[in-house]
Structure formats: structure tokens, C-alpha cells
Structure 1
Amino acid sequence: MSVIPESGMNFGKYDEEDLFHIETSEIYKKLGDGIPTVEFILKYNGNNIVFLEAKKSCPNVANKYESKEKELKFEEYYGSITEKFISSLQIYLAAIMNRYQDTSEIGDNLRSVSNMKDVKLKFILVVKNAEDITW
């Protein structure tokens, strides 16, 4: 069982068979610099797969239009999160389609997904220091 510390928070206790520590994996490191990824990928409750990104803070949507700079910062922040989700999904799908030589870092339960049409993908952003849910 693993607890994953990230952005001042602890996630888990998760079974390693259900995890892919994508951000620290050799698969990711061998792809080279500049590819953003989420913290980890987790399979749970049968056919659910979570791509989890953790942040300590985020821009407040209520302040988004106070200045052009804040608007740009807001768009860049959420654009980068989306990019992490997309890149992580692509890396994961390539791994389960055997596009990498060694996929042993990916938990067996994630690696053995055989029918993606039955899988529910969930892309989750956890923000530690947002003041309320609307933020």
C-alpha cells in the first residue's frame, strides 16, 4: 500500500497494482523534457481510472477579468492542467498498447485493461488552498 505525498497533501493508501506513478516513472523520463504529466494514475472500483493532478493553489475565477494579466494567467494555468491530462492519457494508452519496452512500473490492474469502452476515465484536479468550491 502506498501513500503519495504531493503539493502538501497525502493521497492514498493505494495498492501498487492499481497505480502508475507516471511523474516519476522511467517511461516518462525516457520520453524527454517538456512533456507535462499528472502526479499519478489510479484504477479503482473496477473500471474507473483516475488521472490526478495536485496543486497548492490556483487563480481565483472571480478575479479573472480584473486585468489582462490575470486573465492570461488564469487561461495559462488551466491550459497547462488540460495539457497534463492529455499527455498522461496518451502515455498511458501507449503503455497498455505495448508501445514501450518495459511497462513493469505500471500496476498490473492498470496494465491489464483490455477493453477501454468499459472504462470510466476521470480527470481530477485537487487544489489545497482554494477558499471555497466556486474558486
Structure 2
Amino acid sequence: MQIEESGVVFGNFNEEMCFHIEKANFYENKLKGYGIKSTEFMLFKDNPAKLFIVEAKTTAPNVSSQELNKECVVCKQSCKAWDLYKHEVETKFSHTLTMQSLLYLDRLEKDGISSRFTSISWKKDLEICLVLVITSDDKWYKNKDYISQIQDALRKHCTPLLRLWNAELLVYNKDMALEKKLIVQP
């Protein structure tokens, strides 16, 4: 299975182990129009059981920028571009985790969804990893120190979410995602 998003191709994944939640019927037909956000996809791996929730973005605003941007959907005030970005990424991860939990609880339709994702054991031994992939070829995003700054700032912002789910958050640039076999060479 391959998923094209933000100028890259994610894959090649076993269809049984990958769930393109952004294209799921229950999301597109019943939830998307109501302010509910989704990441691109989820990937499940065995031994140890690990659930990767993957969001792709072409770029990220400067972490230290003080420039005010548009109104934030969370706080309804003019916010810095970086604050808007953090809110959006956190919301997508949070809503996706909630939808995955609702699938397990039979609160969403399961048609066409691999049993891997409808019957995930949510026991303590399931590792949850939230992954943001920034796909730009711009020199800023090639710099692992800059990617590390983005990751640290997102982790700080998402601390409540990470604590609730006992999850980790990783940020990869295009090269790192290639190395981790999340995306394929064009």
C-alpha cells in the first residue's frame, strides 16, 4: 500500500498493517465536515506491538517567529504562525487517537478496515508513536538541529496528550523518513 501526501509517497506497507484513516468512509462521510481532523494514516507493527500515527506537512513555521498570523481555531485570538501550527498538529493527533479508540469500542463503522485496527489491544504494552514528517527539500528542514527544535517544541506543547496516552512524539525530515522506511524513493 502506498499513500501520496505532501509531495512524497509513503509506503510500501502491508495493507493489513496500514490504515489510511483520512480516507475512511466514517471520517469522510460523517466526521470531516464537523471540525474533526485526521492525520494521514496509521501503521501497526508487531513484536513489540506499536501503533504509529503519521501526519505529513510540507513545511513548518519558524519556531521563534513572533509574527501574528490568522485567528486560532482553539483560542479564537490572533496567534503566531508557530502556535497555529502546534494547535493543528496536536488536534490531528488527538482526534485520530480518539477515532482509533472509538473503532475499538464499536462506536464507528468498521466497513473496509483491517481487523488489526478494529481490534487493537489497548493494554499497557501497546507503544504509541505520533510521527510528524516534514517533506520539504528546503535547507532548513535538512538540518537535523532545526528538526530537533521543532520536535522539542511540539513535545512541550503536546505534553498533556503524550502523558494521557503514554505516547512518544517524533519529527522527521524527508531524509529521516526515507531512512526509517516510511517513504519510498521517487
| Alignment TM-score > 0.5, same fold | yes
Deviation, structure 1 residue 20: 1.6
Q: Which amino acid aligns with 2:97?
A: L
Rounded to whole Å, the distance in 2 between the matches of 1:72 and 1:115 is 36
Equivalent positions of 1:15-26 (< 5 A) are 15-26=14-25
Identity %: 30
Do residues 81 (structure 1) and 89 (structure 2) align? yes
- Structure 2 partner of 1:108: 115
- Tell me which residue corresponds to 1:39: 40
* Structure 1 unaligned residues grouped into runs of 5+: none
The alpha-carbon deviation at position 110 of structure 1 amounts to 2.1
CA RMSD in angstroms, aligned pairs only: 1.9
Contact residue 23 and residue 40 of structure 1 kept, 8 A: yes
Q: Is the 8 A contact 1:18 1:108 kept in 2?
A: no
Task: Please report how far the alpha carbon of residue 78 of structure 1 lies from its aligned counterpart in structure 2 after TM superposition.
Answer: 1.3
Give the corresponding residue for 2:27: 28
- After TM superposition, list the pairs within 5 Å mapping 1:51-70 onto structure 2: 51-61=53-63, 63-65=64-66, 67-69=67-69
Gaps of 5+ in 2: 71-78, 148-186
* SS of corresponding position for 2:82: helix
Q: Give deviations 1:63-120, integer Å, cap 9, x for gaps.
A: 423x3449711100111000000000000100011112x3133222222213432210
CA distance in 2, matches of 1:58, 1:32: 23
TM-score by length of structure 1 reads 0.87
Relative contact order (alpha carbons < 8 A, sep ≥ 6): 1 or 2 greater?
1
What is the distance in 2 between the residues matched to 1:88 and 1:115? Answer: 15
